[in-house]
Structure 1
Amino acid sequence: MDKRDEAKSAMELVNIPPIVSIYRHALHTFDDRYKNDLLINLEKLKSMMDFLKADDLGYDNNLKDEALWRQPDKAPCTYIEVFQNNQINMSIFVLKPGFKMPLHDHPHMHGLLKVISGAVKIRSFSEYPLKQDVDPIEFQSVARKEATRLASGYHKRRKLFAEVTCEKVCSETSSTCTLTPTVSNYHELEALDMPAAFFDILSPPYDTLIEGIGPRRCRYYSVTNEISTNVVELQETEVPKCFYCDQAPYLGPILG
């Protein structure tokens, strides 16, 4: 390689779009071959996302127009798929002013969320008592019971105690929020007085299989009882009728 080629190669590395770098590192982070380094790679991925801007994703500024969200046929949430395979889902959600994305879970998933436009109030919960680690034998037993219950066609709604682990307002300048299979795995998000958008990465994506149970399904909840200042009782509910999405195209750098 001559000097001109070396200079071109170096320039290409410097000019890699931030979302491309994040995409590549996300694939690395959640690759089973590197699972021993998951925590280190997750922290690096979070740091990279901390600097992500709406322009890096080709975000359509028309979605910031409040008049758009006042149209009678406009869904309260717009979904933009950035990338998905069997390892990760990268997407953007845009919420109309004042709209709350209902409380929902992320079964056996890791997640990272970065607000890129407007401001979002986030309230997160962890199942209580908090379990940092899951006993494999206990998990297998629960998985077998869950699989049997689902196979029989009988769906009893879940009820659980949960600890409030996060309650804050995040804006474009805020750092990335994270969730794990056991920590802050349940959350609700509410746009404030203007349209708000956030970019997130989930791994594995919804609908991928949990061994011994079946596909990951997003379940919705309501707070039925305030046990204390930071512990509540959650009851699984139907998908709220107020929550539905339309779709918009991803306009950022090509991935994959």
Structure 2
Amino acid sequence: MDLKNEAKAHTDVVSVPPIVATYRLALQTFQDKATADLSANLNKLKKVMDKLRSEDLGLDRRLTDPGTWNNPTKAPCTYIQVFQNHEINMSIFVLRPGFKMPLHDHPHMHGLLKVISGAVNIRSFSEHPLKEEVNALDFAIRAKHEAARLAHGIHKRRRFFAKVSQDRVCRENAETCILTPTISNYHEIEALEVPAAFFDVLAPPYDTLIEGIGPRRCRYYTIANTLSNNLVELQEGSAPDCFYCDQAPYLGPKLF
């Protein structure tokens, strides 16, 4: 490559908006063929997301204005879909000051969360003892039993032990948080003194099929028992009535 073409290539890379770079790398990370390099690609995606700012996503500044949230008819959470296909979901959540997104799970999913405005307290849990990844045969057997149970309308709400894996305040300059199918898969997110916004990537998205079981459903939990500072017992329950969202359009750069 001559100097002129090399300079042009460098300019093209530099000119790619950060959210577009994130979108491209997220697709690459979670494509089926890329699973062998998932750990390395997750780390690359995290580093790219670490640099994201609200202006990179075109976040409407009215949503970060405390006055917007004084309206008693305003939902406590605003959802903005950035992109979704069968492999990934990219979205923005904006929370009312003081509002806590209830404790919920991410069934067989990976996720990355980056605060882009305000501050949130994130409390995450991992099932205890830590669940190990199962091989394809074991998973198929479990899936068959689970599918049969659900097909007969039986849904015993789970109760299990969980260990606190994270409990910290994240601001705009904080690093991206990562969850996996077994680590930090349960979390609650509370906005602090001002409206807070975070961008996240989930793979696969909710409602996509888990082979042999059915759609991924978001389930909600409460702490039924506290055994120590970092060990609790979680009880599956219904979605809290206080948690509902309105929607706003994505106003950032076009992704493709």
The TM-score normalised by the length of structure 2 is: 0.96
How many Å separate the matches in 1 of 2:114 and 2:46? 9
Q: Give deviations 1:121-150, integer Å, cap 9, x for gaps.
A: 000001110134334443233212210111
Alignment of 1:109-128 (within 5 A): 109-128=109-128
Q: Give deviations 1:76-107, integer Å, cap 9, x for gaps.
A: 00000000000000000000000000000000
Q: Corresponding residue for 1:140?
A: 140
Quote the offset at 1:156 in angstroms: 1.5
Larger deviation, residues 243-252 vs 134-143: 134-143
How many Å separate the matches in 1 of 2:136 and 2:61? 47
Q: Corresponding residue for 2:28?
A: 28
Q: Give deviations 1:5-50, integer Å, cap 9, x for gaps.
A: 7655542221100110110000000011111111000000001111
Q: Corresponding residue for 1:158?
A: 158
After superposition, the CA RMSD in angstroms is: 1.6
**Maintained 8 Å contact 1:165/1:184:** yes
Q: Corresponding residue for 2:41?
A: 41
Q: Corresponding residue for 2:168?
A: 168
The alignment covers a number of residue pairs equal to 256
How many Å separate the matches in 2 of 1:5 and 1:165? 48
Structure 1 residue matching 2:38: 3-state secondary structure? helix
How many Å separate the matches in 1 of 2:68 and 2:130? 42
Structure 2 residue matching 1:154: 3-state secondary structure? coil
Q: Corresponding residue for 1:73?
A: 73
How many Å separate the matches in 2 of 1:121 and 1:59? 21
Q: Give the counterpart letter for 1:179 in structure 2.
A: L
Q: Give the counterpart letter for 2:238 in structure 1.
A: E
How many Å separate the matches in 2 of 1:111 and 1:131? 17
How many Å separate the matches in 2 of 1:233 and 1:34? 36
Q: Corresponding residue for 2:101?
A: 101
Structure 2 residue matching 1:228: 3-state secondary structure? coil
Quote the offset at 1:60 in angstroms: 0.9
**Maintained 8 Å contact 1:132/1:183:** no
Quote the offset at 1:217 in angstroms: 0.3
**Maintained 8 Å contact 1:60/1:251:** yes
Q: Give the counterpart letter for 1:228 in structure 2.
A: S
Q: Corresponding residue for 1:214?
A: 214
Alignment of 1:185-200 (within 5 A): 185-200=185-200
**Maintained 8 Å contact 1:125/1:184:** yes
Instruction: Report runs of 4+ in structure 1 exceeding 6 Å deviation.
Output: 1-6
How many Å separate the matches in 1 of 2:147 and 2:227? 30
Q: Give the counterpart letter for 1:115 in structure 2.
A: V
Q: Corresponding residue for 1:245?
A: 245
**Unmatched runs of 5 consecutive residues or more in structure 1:** none
Alignment of 1:177-192 (within 5 A): 177-192=177-192
Q: Give the counterpart letter for 1:175 in structure 2.
A: E
Structure 2 residue matching 1:73: 3-state secondary structure? coil
**Unmatched runs of 5 consecutive residues or more in structure 2:** none
Quote the offset at 1:68 in angstroms: 0.8
Q: Corresponding residue for 2:85?
A: 85
Quote the offset at 1:177 in angstroms: 0.3
Structure 1 residue matching 2:252: 3-state secondary structure? coil
Q: Is 1:63 equivalent to 2:49 in the alignment?
A: no
Structure 2 residue matching 1:41: 3-state secondary structure? helix
Q: Percent identity?
A: 65
